[in-house]
Structure 1
Amino acid sequence: MKAATKKIIADAIGDRKILKLRYKDVERVVRPHILGYVGHDDALALSGWQVEGTGTGWRLFHLEDIHAMAPTEQRFHRTAPGYNRNDPAFSHILNRI
């Protein structure tokens, strides 16, 4: 995982900027909410509300499967429905709204 990718996500969370990313060969647009470690292997992951791509709603994106990413200038002002700042999927949270 590249440090640059981690920083892009952390900055987008802090600034509430929407991200465009390519995940498993599908272009997606995501409102990022949490960056942290998940699963038994402590994989780094992003939890976000997908607004465009293969449907909408909550998604968990493993950083190892993100192949391109860029912040947009578009901001969001509210957390998505059902946001849990203490999401139990994460063993350790690095950044969150």
Structure 2
Amino acid sequence: MPIAEAIRTQHLLTFNYGGYMRTVEPHTYGTDRKGNRALRAYQVGGGSESGERIGWKIFHERDMKGLAVLPHSFQGPRPGYNRVDQLFARIEAQL
């Protein structure tokens, strides 16, 4: 499971989402309260439909295209990270 492994090893992920390439620091991965596989991540590069290219975002795994783990790592949790994330019904991996 590349997302969980990227969280465990603190490696960046890249993927296409909503027509934009994204580079993110993955923080929490699991199943949200609606039953969707989801990732909470801090986006550090790429585009966004909202125009907010940097910051906290939620991504549904089914909509990620071309997911890849990058060789670059990150230092750990970003400010504002909440390990008790109410979005998730079940957490499989987190920082």
Alignment: residue pair count:
90
Decide which structure has greater helix share.
1
In the alignment, structure 2 segments of 5+ residues that lack a partner are: none
- Does 2:44 align with 1:33? no
The percent of aligned pairs where both chains have the same amino acid is 34
* Alpha-carbon RMSD: 0.9
Q: Secondary structure at the match of 1:88?
A: coil
Q: Secondary structure at the match of 1:34?
A: strand
- Does 2:93 align with 1:91? no
- Does 2:5 align with 1:11? yes
Q: TM-score scaled to structure 1, two decimals?
A: 0.89
Q: Secondary structure at the match of 1:70?
A: strand
Of the candidates 31, 34, 39, which is equivalent to residue 46 of structure 1?
A: 39
In the alignment, structure 1 segments of 5+ residues that lack a partner are: 1-6
Rounded Cα–Cα distance in structure 2 between residues aligned with 1:81 and 1:31: 12
Q: Secondary structure at the match of 1:86?
A: coil
Of the candidates 52, 55, 58, which is equivalent to residue 56 of structure 2?
A: 58
After superposing on structure 2, the runs of 4+ consecutive aligned residues of structure 1 that deviate more than 6 Å are none
Q: Secondary structure at the match of 1:14?
A: helix
Q: Secondary structure at the match of 2:79?
A: coil
Rounded Cα–Cα distance in structure 2 between residues aligned with 1:33 and 1:59: 10
Displacement of 1:67 in angstroms is 1.1
Q: TM-score scaled to structure 2, two decimals?
A: 0.90
